[in-house]
Structure 1
Amino acid sequence: MEDQWLRWAKRLEALSTTGQHFTKDAFDHERYSEMQGIARSMLSALGNVPLSRIDNLVSSSANGYVTPKVDVRGAIIRKGEILLVKEKADGLWTLPGGFADIGLSPSENILKEIEEEAGIVAEVVGLYSVRHKAKQAYEPDLRDFYKLFFLCQQVNDDVPAASGETSAAGYFDQDNLPPLSEGRVIKSDIDAAFDYAENQLSVLVD
């Protein structure tokens, strides 16, 4: 669960950015701009990162009504083991996935990510979890996310392989996982995939 001050700063930044877009009053625009500057300075201090990085993180969503980003993740369980990929960015392991691309459905997005990151072809079985990143035990993030988790199945016999974004890929036992990239996935996401696959439990929404 993220820090209360981080939650407030993110909310203030979103409101000020949205206000700037919709206001017709020059004086209100100036006030919203000042509020945005304060919010981004708070985010910079809380994240201990340069202000320029904050500007880059939020610029892609700084038009119109600011909404959370969407992250898609795919769980493939085969012979009692789950597919994980090793991220080049931090050297840690995660379920294949990433930002949802515009123009593709959530299912299309995750199948594309699995093929790009693990080199295998898959199909979607079902959606097993929808999570608000800020409310869970992921590493804190200056951005806001909804995370969609899909249970998928491999449809070919190819061996998982590294790609341009990953340095390794393979199947792992649920109780013997490598170090996880906890900004992307946490153990409960993996446990939920096994529960859904074995028991067809209802979708976890939190």
Structure 2
Amino acid sequence: METSLKWLDWAKRIQGIAQTGLAYAKDVYDKERYEQLRELSLEIMAEYTEVETGKLTQLFAGEQGYATPKADIRGVVIQDGKILLVREKEDGDWSLPGGWADLLLSPTEIAVKEVWEESGYEVKAKRLLAVMDNHKHNPPAPYHVYKMFIQCEITGGTAREGVETSAVRFFGRDELPNLSRSRNTEAQIGLMFDLLAHPERIPVID
């Protein structure tokens, strides 16, 4: 990891130690110390990211049990040589349809649901393309995330905006718009084109 980003790695580790400690500690004083560690990690993240302390607290307050990476599921639809992207209302940039994994749903079920909710297209999940560690491939973020990219095939529906999206379009590899890089990078989108052109490489895990 670059020296300039070591602070984020340290903050995540502190957060993980605190969360795991709170899950298993029995002594009230130990719990107080783990709460202090959690607050310290949030202060560090808020100081060096654009996420406010209040939002960070809200994000991590519900995290319980042994600290483990979150799962982000992305539906990959390529049709006539172009890839389906949606514009995120949150930042105005574009991403593959997707989001956090939901309880009681499998990765393929989540991919199908997210594509429908964010683009208006009904799809069938076909196969796993890649599992990528955001710690290695995406800009700094509070969470450690495993991103799953799942190929989907359109079976119905029409393009429409969603609750979290403001536009739906297909883009060629050489005409990509500004991407929401915390969700997907130019390299990841390029990899999706490559994997579908060379299925013998599937899946990629990194």
Aligned to 1:101, the other structure's residue is in SS state: coil
Aligned length: 203
1:58-93 C-alpha deviation (Å, 9 max, x unpaired): 1121x2112221110011111111111111111111
Corresponding residue number in structure 1 for 2:103:
102
1:138-191 C-alpha deviation (Å, 9 max, x unpaired): 2321122111001111112x4322122211101111111111111111112212
Runs of 4+ in 1 over 4 A off after TM superposition: none
Corresponding residue number in structure 1 for 2:19:
17
Alignment of 1:80-95 (within 5 A): 80-95=81-96
In 2, the alpha carbon distance for the partners of 1:75 and 1:119 equals 14
Alignment of 1:1-206 (within 5 A): 3-61=5-63, 63-136=64-137, 138-156=138-156, 158-200=157-199, 201-206=201-206
Q: Any unmatched runs of 5+ in structure 1?
A: none
Kept after mapping to 2: 8 A contact 1:131/1:205: yes
Match for 1:52: what amino acid? G
1:78-110 C-alpha deviation (Å, 9 max, x unpaired): 111111111111111110001111010000001
In 2, the alpha carbon distance for the partners of 1:75 and 1:189 equals 11
CA RMSD across the alignment = 1.6
- Relative to the length of structure 1, the TM-score reads 0.92
Kept after mapping to 2: 8 A contact 1:74/1:152: yes
- Pairwise CA distance, 1:50: 3.5
- Relative to the length of structure 2, the TM-score reads 0.92
- Pairwise CA distance, 1:49: 4.2
In 2, the alpha carbon distance for the partners of 1:50 and 1:196 equals 37
